[in-house]
Amino acid sequence: DHNFLGYLGTELIDGQLQTDVPGVDNPLDGIGGMLLGPEGQVLVSSQLTNEVLAYSSLTGEFLGVFGDASADAVMAATGTPLEFPAGLALNDILNLYVSDLGNGRILSFDGFGGAFQDVVVELEATDPAGSRFTDMEFGRDGLLYVGFNPPLGDPGTQLGQAEVRAYDPNTGVLVHRIPGLDFAAALSTDREGHLYVSDDAASLGLDPATNLPFVDPATGAFKESRILIYELDDVHPIADAPLRVQQFSVGFGNGGALSVDPEGVIYLSNPVSGIVTLYDDEGTLLETIVPPLPPAAAAGDDNGQGRPTGQFLMRNTLLSSDEFIPPADAPLEFLTVSGQTVLDGTTVA
């Protein structure tokens, strides 16, 4: 069972958005990523049905497959079907980018309607077969930052082999690498030009020799998951990678999704422990959200807890107004007003 939950700050809003409605054919199975689309709908990558699905952001009503973002439509366009879609991202002109994890590539679609556009990025010829692109985000510099992880195998050989890659979305050319990660699970950016990365060693599981977390050979301590923060405008002249300005441990839980609000509060969802944790940019734990289970799932779940995966932040969203003119200094990403989309004060059809 799936459920969309809305929070104002950390307070659960009444009227949760139900995605499982009796009598409605809803194929959602395995949430890989989610965001608010240009037309106000919630877009969700359904990993096990190989589709991107659309839902009403007001009611949770299932609206259907988003345009050509399905296995069959992508097969018709490229000769290879969409397989296990993961991260989703919107560029500055609101095209949708989808990480096709099963095929090691990134696809683009028109954000208004979902028409297929192009295969934007593919794995390099030197990448091991089975390597995966996971989450992704656009930076303020216009580059597409993508989590890259080696193929599934012996976890002990994967430590330190993951990275974040920055691509020019227009040419697919690799511009920067951020190497030395264990598992690039989730990415987020802010308006000040920072990149946030959830480096989640726990996603690799336990050391099969000890049945304990892996040991960091440099410190002798157990490897914990961590948040890394990079300054995208400050690229190291020798390493040719953004400068890391902060990192902190978030324990041994799995990072499911990562968001940063305008005040710099970091939201990290943990589908294993069933919580969303809030941190400041120094790593101080501010608060913990425990999402409730959908009623239909509560009886059948093996440990009685939710499994928060994808998440996104809705900023300055106006739900009822006939006319709205945003102030010039309003920190808007976008908002939906009476069926129109307002972008930084400019209304587009």
Please check the confidence at residue 325 and state whether its pLDDT lies above 70. no
Position 188 scores a pLDDT of: 95
Position 311 scores a pLDDT of: 83
Please check the confidence at residue 297 and state whether its pLDDT lies above 80. no
Q: Which residue has the higher pLDDT, 270 or 75?
A: 75
Q: What is the mean pLDDT of the chain?
A: 81
Position 324 scores a pLDDT of: 39
Position 317 scores a pLDDT of: 41
Per-residue pLDDT, averaged over 323-333, amounts to 43
Grade residue 149 by pLDDT with cuts at 50, 70 and 90: very high
Q: Which residue has the higher pLDDT, 2 or 148?
A: 148
Most confident of 23-27, 152-156, 250-254, 313-317: 250-254
Grade residue 329 by pLDDT with cuts at 50, 70 and 90: very low
Query: pLDDT tens, 197-216?
Result: 999 887 777 777 888 878 87
Query: pLDDT tens, 190-199?
Result: 988 999 999 9
Position 16 scores a pLDDT of: 57
Query: pLDDT tens, 234-277?
Result: 887 767 789 999 999 988 776 778 999 988 999 998 887 888 89
Q: How many residues does the chain have?
A: 349
